[in-house]
Amino acid sequence: MVMNEWFKENMKDWRKPISSSGILTALGCERKFLFANKWRLYRKARQYSAAASFGKLLHRLLQLGELRCEEVHQEVIKQHAGLLEQIKKGEDLLGDIAREANDLNSNYTKALAVAKIFWEKYPPAEHMETVCREEKIEGLINGVPIIGFMDWVVRDKRDGSVWIRDTKTTSRKFESILTGFQWSVPCRFYRVLSLNREWGKDVKGFILDMVKTPTIKMCGKDEKNAAKWECTVQEAYIRRLKDWYAEQEDDSMKSVAIKFNEPIWPSELNTTVEGVVLLWEEEALPQWFSKDLTRSSCYAYEKVCPYYDLCNSDPVTWPSLIEQMFEVVPEHKDRTDDVEKEKS
């Protein structure tokens, strides 16, 4: 086939280490795995989500802890400058970068306020100590390289048990996160990945810090309340946020320990890994990678798949579409891109 020759000559198979989200991608849609994990295509014009921006900032604050908020603030300032530079270069094709830049400070203010409420409700326990933060871990599964990032790992000084801590933000009920978590890909993957560290043998499970995404922002109402209550505007906003959380019908903020309840390598995990390894080793040509016939991946998380235009067009047009809409990024532009669906 003529197009196969073009793909071989122009689309390199990067065969980068497999992450937890890479496995999720392969299970959901083989064709997307080809585009994202083997060809490493990223949309030039990214889709902006205020909820995702807030979630990343809150995740970062809880990851670093109450004493390192200024680090996150400086990261936000740097990110904002980078967004403005992208706009200046004419990269904001659809206006999403401008929207992200305009919302960034507001999202940070909200995330910081929510983090302070969370720390007040769940202060650091004296019997828990940090094992590592922001730990990049690599290993092998069936001879294939794997990679993951442990944002925060803690040890219970009372019994020596180790726990992987993670933050989840959502607009849905917490049952959507907790149901079946013990046998989910992230839970199983990070358990296996942790065995590449000495403390991995002591890992007993996950601690999930779950927060419902608030729908209210800081506004003029908080300035008026601050004057009335004789406090800062942020303190007034935090007070209003506390009221918002109290009004929610379901739990809106919770920290839950989930213990592993199965062997490290259940038979079904072996079957899953073997299938992903075959895709990782397969020649990077479209005919070997099926589309998702259920269409679930085509509109996951209320968003159209970034590769839908490719799937929905004749491969003869792909060279021009790829040039117009995508860029090849061998390394992750933002490692949170790889775990985005794990954080939802």
Percentage of residues of the chain with pLDDT beyond 90: 77
Last residue of a domain, one of 248, 276, 304: 276
Distance of CA 5 to CAs 11, 38, 144, 316, Å? Answer: 10, 17, 26, 12
Q: Does a structural domain hold residue 98?
A: no
Q: Are residues 180 and 268 located together in one domain of the fold?
A: yes
Distance of CA 316 to CAs 4, 279, 319, Å? Answer: 10, 23, 7
Q: Does a structural domain hold residue 19?
A: yes
Last residue of a domain, one of 255, 276, 297: 276
| Angle (nearest 5°) at CA 216 between 86 and 253 | 105
Q: Are residues 257 and 130 located together in one domain of the fold?
A: yes
Q: How confident is the model at residue 341 (pLDDT cuts 50, 70, 90)?
A: very low
Q: Does a structural domain hold residue 35?
A: yes
Q: How confident is the model at residue 32 (pLDDT cuts 50, 70, 90)?
A: very high
CB 111 within 8 A of CB 213: no
> Cα–Cα distance between 20 and 24 in angstroms, integer?
6
Q: Are residues 132 and 240 located together in one domain of the fold?
A: yes
Entry pTM: 0.86
Please compute the mean of the pLDDT values over residues 303-309 and round it to a whole number. Answer: 92
Q: Does a structural domain hold residue 58?
A: no
Q: Are residues 229 and 198 located together in one domain of the fold?
A: yes
CB 214 within 8 A of CB 294: no
- Mean pLDDT (the chain) is 90
Q: Does a structural domain hold residue 88?
A: no
For 36-58, how does the pLDDT look when each residue is reduced to its tens digit (9 = 90+)?
999 999 988 777 888 889 999 99
Of 46, 42, 39, 12, which is closest to residue 289 (Cα–Cα)? Answer: 39
Q: Does a structural domain hold residue 143?
A: yes
Q: How much is the pLDDT for 332?
A: 58
The dihedral region occupied by 15, where left means phi > 0, alpha psi between -120 and 50, and beta the remainder, is left
Q: How confident is the model at residue 250 (pLDDT cuts 50, 70, 90)?
A: confident
In degrees rounded to 5, what are phi and psi of residue 193?
Answer: -60, -35
Q: Are residues 138 and 211 located together in one domain of the fold?
A: yes
**Residue 207: pLDDT above 80?**
yes
Q: Does a structural domain hold residue 54?
A: no
Please compute the mean of the pLDDT values over residues 175-198 and round it to a whole number. Answer: 94
> Cα–Cα distance between 78 and 11 in angstroms, integer?
33
Q: Are residues 313 and 201 located together in one domain of the fold?
A: no
Q: Are residues 265 and 336 located together in one domain of the fold?
A: no
Domain of 163, in residue numbers: 125-276
Q: Are residues 220 and 147 located together in one domain of the fold?
A: yes
How many structural domains does the chain have?
2
Q: Are residues 135 and 27 located together in one domain of the fold?
A: no
> Cα–Cα distance between 277 and 48 in angstroms, integer?
32
Q: Are residues 242 and 314 located together in one domain of the fold?
A: no
For 317-338, how does the pLDDT look when each residue is reduced to its tens digit (9 = 90+)?
999 999 999 999 987 554 434 3
Q: How much is the pLDDT for 301?
A: 78
Q: Are residues 293 and 206 located together in one domain of the fold?
A: no
Last residue of a domain, one of 276, 305, 326: 276
HEC states along the chain? CHHHHHHHHHCCCCCCCECHHHHHHHHHCHHHHHHHHHCCEEECCCCCCHHHHHHHHHHHHHHHCHHHHHHHHHHHHHHHHHHHHHHHCCCCCCCHHHHHHHHHHHHHHHHHHHHHHHHHHCCCCCCEEEEEEEEEEEEEECCEEEEEEEEEEEEECCCCCEEEEEEEEECCCCHHHHCCHHHCHHHHHHHHHHCCCHHHHHEEEEEEEEEECCCCCCCHHHHHHHHHHCCCHHHHHHHHHHHHHHHCCCCCEEEEEEECCCCCCCHHHHHHHHHHHHHHHCCCCHHHCCCCCCCHHHHHHHCCCCCHHHHCCCHHHHHHHHHHHEEECCCCCCHHHHCHHHHC
CB 16 within 8 A of CB 330: yes
Q: Are residues 267 and 141 located together in one domain of the fold?
A: yes
> Cα–Cα distance between 183 and 333 in angstroms, integer?
29
**Residue 1: pLDDT above 80?**
no
Q: Does a structural domain hold residue 236?
A: yes
CB 265 within 8 A of CB 193: no
